[in-house]
Amino acid sequence: MENPLTPEVLADPVQLTRVLVDIESVSLNEKAIADCVEEVLRGVPHLSTHRHGNTVMARTDLGRSQRVVLAGHLDTVPLNNNFPSTMRGDLMYGCGTSDMKSGTAYALHLAVTLPEPRYDVTYFFYEAEEIESRYNGLNLVAQAFPEWLEADFAVLLEPTYGIVEAGCQGTMRSVVTTTGVRAHSARSWHGVNAIHAAGEVLRRLQTYEARRVTIDGCDYREGMNAVRINGGVAGNVVPDLCEIEVNYRFAPDRTPAEAEAHLREVFAGFEVRVTDTAAGAAPGLEAAPAKEFLAAVGAAPIGKLGWTDVARFAAMGIPALNFGPGDPNLAHHPDEHVEISKIRDGAATLHRWLAPA
């Protein structure tokens, strides 16, 4: 297929967003879009380009004293009658418009059009962010080529509606188990109902008072919620087992070990099994490039409520922020869209930050 990423398209972040949206790239099906991006970047003389799986990395090597990363994922959630893109006034609709091909378009636009940025820049276009971590392109690169990720500061181009969302929450999934004794439901007094026992777990969740934490001026609101319940044997059997899956979103001042200790304290007396954990990330506002980036944005940052790949950079000691034109409330929504004005404003902000003085 002829590459739709023409020079005219690459020069305009709005056109570029639409073309990227119209290359279907549901998670694990990113080859076509990665091929297009790689072909473009290999033709740019001021970049060195490498590929690992369906993740494409390009970087400048200008001898600058500091290096920054711009990273955007290429994949989307499954289509939902929202492909290809459509335009309605100032709005562009389609799968990935908000999360996050409009942000990814920034990186590709700047990679091609800004040959001498004020910092050395590494651009990441990575696969499989929307699914399990074992497929995530940044995770795979960290394992195979960790030196590709080395930098002084990183911007993850996730949807933030044009403001800076600093750091991110940690997340923990666990299973709280209640047990009982099986019996025929016609003679239920001979048993102990494990589903009924789950009522106490749910009561603790319902009355749970989540922390609100302020770190470097950014507010993080924690949350602990039941997200799935599984129990029952048959329509005439008192169940002896019930499992309540709980998702805990914790502020980045807590380590995963501290979050787990708190979780076990909340559910004292019950069996608790942690199934998945990802650490949060501190705001990362003290690095010099971060301060200059905030000055270019011209608005105070807020804390990121949710987990993003900024945590991968934070784990390597690299401060990172989230910034993109999309509305995070529209991510994964069938009515997903992005405002054209937000795309243009964000592109101008990044150019102000990266362009040489």
- 44-48, Cβ contacts within 8 angstroms, sequence gap of 24 or more: 44/111, 44/112, 45/115, 46/115, 46/116, 47/111, 47/123
With beta carbons less than 8 A apart as the criterion, state whether 218 and 310 touch: no
Give catalytic residues, as residue numbers: 75, 129
Look up the CATH number of domain 177-278. Answer: 3.30.70.360
Q: Residues spanned by CATH 3.30.70.360 within the chain?
A: 177-278
With beta carbons less than 8 A apart as the criterion, state whether 90 and 339 touch: yes
Beta bridge partners of residue 339, listed in sequence order: 91
Distance in angstroms (rounded) separating the CA atoms of residues 134 and 329: 26
Interhelix angle 340-354/102-113, nearest 10 degrees:
40
Q: What angle do CA 188, 191, 195 make, to 5 degrees?
A: 90
Q: Terminal CA-to-CA distance of the chain, rounded, Å?
A: 40
Q: Residues spanned by CATH 3.40.630.10 within the chain?
A: 7-168+281-354
Q: Tell me the CA distances in angstroms from 36 to 2, 12, 45, one per residue in order.
A: 9, 17, 17
CB atoms within 10 A of CB 272: 18
Residue 61 phi, psi dihedral angles, 5° rounding: -135, 75
- The pLDDT tens digits along the chain (357 residues) read 799 999 999 999 999 999 999 999 999 999 999 999 999 999 999 999 999 999 999 999 999 999 999 999 999 999 999 999 999 999 999 999 999 999 999 999 999 999 999 999 999 999 999 998 899 999 999 999 999 999 999 999 999 999 999 999 999 999 999 999 999 999 999 999 999 999 999 999 999 999 999 999 999 999 999 999 999 999 999 999 999 999 999 999 999 999 999 999 999 999 999 999 999 999 989 899 999 999 999 999 999 999 999 999 999 999 999 999 999 999 999 999 999 999 999 999 999 999 998
CB atoms within 10 A of CB 338: 34
Q: Tell me the CA distances in angstroms from 21 to 86, 106, 124, 309, one per residue in order.
A: 10, 13, 17, 21
With beta carbons less than 8 A apart as the criterion, state whether 207 and 292 touch: no
Distance in angstroms (rounded) separating the CA atoms of residues 210 and 248: 10
Q: Hey, what are 20's tokens?
A: 């990227």
| Pairing label, strands 218-221, 212-215 | antiparallel
3-state helix vs strand vs coil in the chain, percent to 5: 35, 30, 40
Distance in angstroms (rounded) separating the CA atoms of residues 332 and 348: 26
| Pairing label, strands 170-179, 223-231 | unpaired
Question: What is the DSSP annotation of 108-164?
Answer: HHHHHH-SS-SSEEEEEEES--SS-GGG-HHHHHHHH-GGGG--SEEEE----TTS-
Look up the CATH number of domain 7-168+281-354. Answer: 3.40.630.10
